[in-house]
Amino acid sequence: MFSYSLTTRVLTVFIPGETPHQIKVDHESPLFRRALEIVTSQDESLKDELLKIFVPLKKIETPHGDFIIKDGEVFWKGKRLHNVAVDRLLELKEMGLPYDSLLNFIRRVLMNPSFQSVNELYNWLANKGLAITPDGMVIGYKAIREDWTDIHSATFNNHPGQVHEMPRNEVDDNQQNNCSAGFHIGNLAYALDFMPSTGHIVLVEFDPADAVSVPTDCSYQKLRVSKYRVIEEYTSKEPLQSPIFERELPGSWEEDYEEDDEDYNEDYEDDEDEDEEDDDYEDDDEEDDDEEDEGDEEDEDEEE
């Protein structure tokens, strides 16, 4: 026989020979509804089905530590996480839907060094029409000039594929300063309102770890970051409909660094080749000098 405890937040089920199982209360979730139906029916023949609802402990390895999802809670490095993204992740998990993108997003958020920046970022993400990529990057909108440069300084090229970065400590982290230092990204409504009549709107992606501040003006419709990548021009007047942005991006952040390394190595190899040519040239000079010295000695002998 099953026994259970139901609160406004959690359904806890006690099965003989098992540790207590919990599932978050969500009347929209088919898993929750089925679990509640089984425990209230007291039909012991459904025990196996009930156990399958409570997914066993799932451990996900990440480069920066371990996520553990257990009994309706998410832990990272042993610390229980509480935020709207975690709540959404658990909802997706309970509905049997993919949640890897959201897990990657949370991992990146945890790499942000500022507690204040993280909390402000969640305020900005409450805007509609924003999305994340499968690897957890955030997609936003940016207004630019007709010549594809930024509106403020007209010095940053914002053609697709361009990556711009500045030291994080040079980005204003005071959200009370509305227009200040940093790269600004907004939701679509803000970008359209800010765009010149002959300008463009581009989709950009940024790492949640690079989010710095969300100014209080414009109802949290924009934020400042220290680095972003331009994806493509966006011509629709409606925001993105899917919460997951899965189109192929123009390259990757890592490829930029790899290309820089390749360029450096090529330059280094070219320098080595030039050095070898210089050495050959010096050797030729030395041989010429030796020949000249021998010629001078012969002349001296002849004069003597």
Q: What pLDDT digit, counting tens, does each position of 248-286 carry?
A: 655 555 444 344 344 434 444 444 454 444 555 445 554
Question: pTM for this one?
Answer: 0.62
Give the tens place of pLDDT for each residue, 51-83.
Answer: 777 654 344 444 345 688 777 778 887 788 887
Would you state the pLDDT for residue 128?
67
Mean residue pLDDT across the chain: 77
Q: How far is Cα 126 from Cα 187, in angstroms, rounded to an integer?
A: 10
Q: How far is Cα 299 from Cα 290, in angstroms, rounded to an integer?
A: 14
Would you state the pLDDT for residue 23?
74
| Domain locations along the chain | 3-109, 115-255
Would you state the pLDDT for residue 119?
86
pLDDT of residue 187 exceeding 60? yes
Give the tens place of pLDDT for each residue, 5-52.
Answer: 888 777 888 877 777 777 777 777 777 788 888 888 888 888 888 777
Q: Give the model's confidence band at 155: pLDDT under 50 very low, under 70 low, under 90 confident, else very high.
A: very high
**CB under 8 Å to 14, separation ≥6 — which residues?**
2, 3, 4, 5, 20
- b/e sequence 202-217, b meaning 16+ C-beta within 10 Å: bbbbbbbbbbbbbbee
Would you state the pLDDT for residue 144?
97
Nearest to 78 by CA among 89, 60, 66: 66
